[in-house]
Amino acid sequence: MSNTECRPSKRRKTAGHLRHNHRISGKTAIFRPDETQTSQSLPSRAHPPSYHHPLLLTSPPARTALLSWFNTVITARNMPWRKTFRPPTTLSRTDLARRAYEVWISEVMLQQTRVQTVIGYWTRWMARWPSLRDLAAAGEADVLAAWQGLGYYSRARRVLEAARTVCAANPDCVLPGTVEELIKLPGLGRYTAGAIAAIVFGVPAPMVDGNVLRVLSRQLGVLGDVKGDKRVIELLWDAAEELVKAVAGDGEEPGLWGQALMELGSTICTPYPNCYACPISGTCRAYSEGVASYKGVQLVGTGEDIEDLCTLCAPFEEAREVDIAEKTDNERPTAPSNSDGRLSRFFAEKQGIKSPAKPREQDMRSLASIVNHARKFPLKKPKKQLRAEETLVCAIRRVSDGRYLIHQRPDKGLLAGLWELPSHILSNESTPEARKASAEAYVAKLVGKGQVPPMHAGEIGTIPWVFSHLKLQMHVHFFNVEDDKGSPRLGPRERWATASNIDAESMGTGMKKCWSLVKGVMK
């Protein structure tokens, strides 16, 4: 965060003319306790930077409440890598190396992948390579095969590279214990480095993933883009750092705190939050604003000079509304009944927020009103439209021995180094006739015509697959070739493989689905 900039005197402007191309005031304006903007006061969308002071910083009871809540749910999802913290000085070098390795692998696997999926992968991985030393001695093909299905295969390569780097420099194969040293390793960013340092070594390092960014955006009332606005991202990282230092000052475990914030974002403070179940809604700016809005208090502007206002937050008009009806049932909070007391707790007095006169008579519309306000945080930007592409996937079977032609993708780029059935991007019109003609021309170049031309058995199906930047339609064509006499000599990245060889090969998940389609036809 930059320090407050000195500016020449300007004509006073009204909040209604607020623009969002200024820089926010300095870090001290955020983390200095604010006497005028508390969770009890009128929430104003035109506000000074000090409005974003984390109320958790000045509320030890709220910090304790979050940790107490986490201790009640810590085993609920049966994550085998979650274990009771033991100070590094009490562990042998072997045990410390093992613990750091376990946490590291879990954190890398959890990126862009659901917990339930990772549990199986992590368990199999640890059974195969119980220690970092075992992993460092593994072959890349075996590592990629074990990673198959998790996607983002470059992560697996970097994990292997980092393992070899650590073991080459350290005979005990113990990961470094500081963020500064951890981020020097291949593939370790500040989130993963912070997680290892905090959970394993007890360092008060911030752990900020997408879930935590959402939690802190709501806690601080920052209506900004937590994915693309670097100023917003840095502010939330700064807040996370101040909070974990405060927790360490309380005598609590930094790693437990970081995991508690992530668990809260993953299970309660989700894109569709369950505010009534949140243990720290009393310090949440978004919650307080939602309650005030429900009561009919207008979120009006302030009379402060524009130069003193926060410029990180967007106006509410830019907050993209999401229709509740579009959410699936498992994303909705369970509707509390009047008899279970949940709705009463939702409206109960928290940090000066008084409940309406008859809380048990509030219906789900009032609950939805408050939740919908919280859902505006963080600012949601329209997703970029994915590029659409069609490709021909050609299963070429050699009749004489039943082997299939496969080739390895380039070492860099999408699905780098993985094996696949020969594929060709479709550049002309996509009709069955045109696809057949393109497939036949492509296969003829690969295996030649020989004495008997390759026989096109047909288009056996289409597999849709979506990458983060690409929507792909894979049209699978089956060919039989009598032999490969007269064919161009195979390159170093091509070979004929048996069906069992292909089953064991490292392939992208989409290509595996294409291969399953081929095997189904052969049965």
Phi/psi-derived region of residue 461, left when phi > 0, alpha when psi is between -120 and 50, beta in every other case:
left
Distances (CA, A) of 467 to 147, 406, 413, 428: 17, 22, 13, 22
At residue 271, the 3 state secondary structure works out as coil
Residues 6+ apart with CB under 8 A from 393: 420, 421, 422, 423, 463, 474, 475, 476, 477, 511, 514
HSE, CB side, 13 Å, CA atoms: give it for residue 406.
24
Which is the catalytic residue, given 107, 242, 253, 289?
107
Residue found under tokens 């700016």? 285
Q: Are 322 and 378 in contact, with CB atoms under 8 Å apart?
A: no
Q: What would the two tokens of residue 222 be?
A: 């920052």
Rounded CA separation 452/471 (Å): 37
Q: What would the two tokens of residue 322 be?
A: 């999401």
**Has 107 been annotated as catalytic?**
yes
Q: What would the two tokens of residue 364 be?
A: 């789900």
Q: Are 214 and 269 in contact, with CB atoms under 8 Å apart?
A: yes
Planar angle of CA 251, 233, 266, nearest 5 degrees: 65
Q: Are 279 and 64 in contact, with CB atoms under 8 Å apart?
A: no
Q: Are 434 and 428 in contact, with CB atoms under 8 Å apart?
A: yes
Rounded CA separation 211/354 (Å): 29
Distances (CA, A) of 271 to 72, 115, 147, 194: 22, 17, 28, 24
Residues carrying an active site annotation: 107
